[in-house]
Amino acid sequence: MKDLTKVFHSGVASATLAVMLLSVAPAAAESGDTIKAIIARGELLCGVHPSRPGFAAPDDKGNWAGFEADYCRALAAVVFGDATKVRFVALSSQQRFPGIQSGEVDVLARNVSATMGRDVSLGLNFTPPIFYTGTGFLVHVDSGIEKLEDLDGATICMAPGSTTEQNIASLFSARGMSYTPIVIEDNKQLVANYVEGRCDALAKDKAALPGVRAIDTENPEEHKMLPGIFSKEPLAMAVRQGDDHWYDLVKWTVYATFVGEEMGVSQANVDEMLQSPDPDVQIMLGVTGDLGEKMGVSQDWAYQAIKQVGNYEDIYLRHFGPGTPIELDRDLNQQWVDGGILYGFPIK
């Protein structure tokens, strides 16, 4: 009977793999399972966008570079004290949710907008948003389109299943305007459709458009973004619901990058800051207190994240700062003390 069960299980394994990973990889639902699995594996599995310059894309040497890729590294620095122990898993917009649900990745840092629908029906938990953006439109300069209202009757290129698709349906119906969507999953085909004039506008998260304009078009000056942000897209990392410990760890890693910037602890000065007399800095960097230990990681977890990857400002400027191909104003993505809405909970 035991043999029969074994035969059954192997059959099940291969058959189900074809249907979906869901049933074979029993996703960690218990608190603490995820971190155990990560440590046993020796690396963090991080789900990222296959190619979104600025957020996550392989550079010319094949290394993953980008804002979200760096958040994966910061997590690895917190868990292992080594930011290189990450395996990046490129997930298409369709693969991303099954990918995290099935346990194929430990965390999703893949341009996911946190919405209530996704939170309650997909079995996910969202970290505090690491990037606030919204739907934007890229249009051809010679089209004469100056504002959203000019797009009545236009053909608009967009990716399938994105919140963008829903936002535009709402935006246009609220204004009594019509449009024709062209929905293509492959990003290259999608952008080519817009660039070659099949679509009047390309709709994406506004933060992604400068990357498209600078990198995917031949003559960036022939394209411009419409002024305004047309929806709320809080891009957040997502973990599976049920493992509170892992959720805490990801959440506080995000907060450490916020608080680091707020307190002036950066990649450049973090070693000097170890001598700082400020008790808050001392607690965050693990000079005093035992918060790291209580979270189940080493005492210098925040030091490692900031030292090896950087605080929020370091990460932001590395990918969107002046001199990068995709310069983006920080806009909402500033610390609350500077007029933005990044508000790291106190680490104490």
Partner 1 sequence: MQDHYHAAPTGRNKPRSLHDLLYSKAIRTTFYQVLMAVAICALGLFLYNNVVDNLTRQNIATGFSFLGQVSNFEIGEKLIPYTPRSTYLNALMVGLVNTLVVSAAGIIIATVVGFMVGIARVSGNWMLERLALTYVEIVRNVPVILQAIFWIVVLRNLPPPKNAFVLGEFGFLTNRGLYFAAPASTPVHFWMWLALAFGIVACIIGTVAARRYREVTGRYVDMLLPGLALILGLPFLVWLVAGAPTEISYPVPKGFNYVGGVSISPEFTALLIGISMYASGFIAEIVRSGIQATPKGQVEAARAIALKPRFIMRYVILPQAMRVIVPPLTSQYVSLIKNSSIAVVVGYPDLVNIGNTMMNQTGQAVEAIAVMMIVYLGISLTASLVMNLFNRFVAIKER
Closest distance to partner 1 from the beta carbon of 111 (Å): 13
Query: SS3 for 26?
Result: coil
Least distance in angstroms from the C-beta of 193 to partner 1 = 7
For residue 264, what is the DSSP state? T
**Dihedral angle over CA of 67, 70, 72, 75, nearest 10:** -130
* Whole-angstrom distance, CA of residue 63 vs CA of residue 185: 24
231 φψ region: left (φ > 0), alpha (ψ -120 to 50), beta (else): beta
- With CB under 8 A as the contact rule, the residue among 58, 81, 161, 325 that binds partner 1 is 161
Q: Which is nearer to partner 1, 203 or 342 (CB)?
A: 203
> How many angstroms separate the CA atoms of 137 and 67, rounded?
22
Check residue 180 for interaction with partner 1 (CB under 8 A). yes
Using the rule CB under 8 A, is 339 a contact of partner 1?
no
Residues 240-259 that bind partner 1 (CB under 8 A): 240-242
Q: Which of 6, 147, 198, 348 binds partner 1 (CB under 8 A)?
A: 198
Structure tokens of 285?
A: 């960097």
**11 part of the interface to partner 1, by CB under 8 A:** yes
Q: Can residue 177 be called a binding residue for partner 1 (CB under 8 A)? A: no
Should residue 170 be labelled a site residue for partner 1 when binding is judged by CB under 8 A? yes
Nearer to partner 1 among residue 73 and residue 240 (C-beta): 240
**Which amino acid is located at 235 in the chain?**
L
Angle, nearest 10°, between helix axes 301-308 and 244-262? Answer: 60
Q: Give the C-alpha separation, 36 to 297, whole Å.
A: 11
Q: Which CB atom, from 181 or from 296, has the smaller least distance to partner 1?
A: 181
Work out which of 33, 106, 200, 261 binds partner 1, going by CB under 8 A.
200
Is 181 a binder of partner 1 (CB under 8 A)?
yes
Residue 269 is a binding residue for partner 1 (CB under 8 A): no
Residue 97 is a binding residue for partner 1 (CB under 8 A) = yes
Q: What angle, rounded to 10 degrees, do the helices at 244-262 and 33-41 form?
A: 80
Interface with partner 1, residue 65, by CB under 8 A: no
Asked if 162 touches partner 1 (CB under 8 A), the answer is yes
**Distance separating alpha carbons of residues 311 and 136, to the nearest angstrom:** 27
Are the CB atoms for 316 and 67 separated by under 8 Å?
yes
13-32 residues in contact with partner 1 (CB under 8 A) are 15-16, 19-20, 22-23, 26-27, 29
- Indicate the residue type of 63: N
Binding status of residue 166 toward partner 1 by CB under 8 A? yes
The 10 Å Cβ neighbour count of residue 38 is 22
d(CA 67, CA 55): 4
In this chain, which stretch among 80-88, 121-129, 210-218, 226-234 interacts with partner 1, using CB under 8 A? 121-129
Instruction: Say how far apart CA 285 and CA 306 lie, in whole Å.
Output: 9
Which residues would be at the binding site for partner 1 (CB under 8 A)? Answer: 8, 11-12, 15-16, 19-20, 22-23, 26-27, 29, 93-94, 97-98, 101, 117-118, 120-123, 152-155, 160-162, 165-166, 168-170, 172-173, 179-186, 189-190, 192-193, 196-198, 200, 240-242
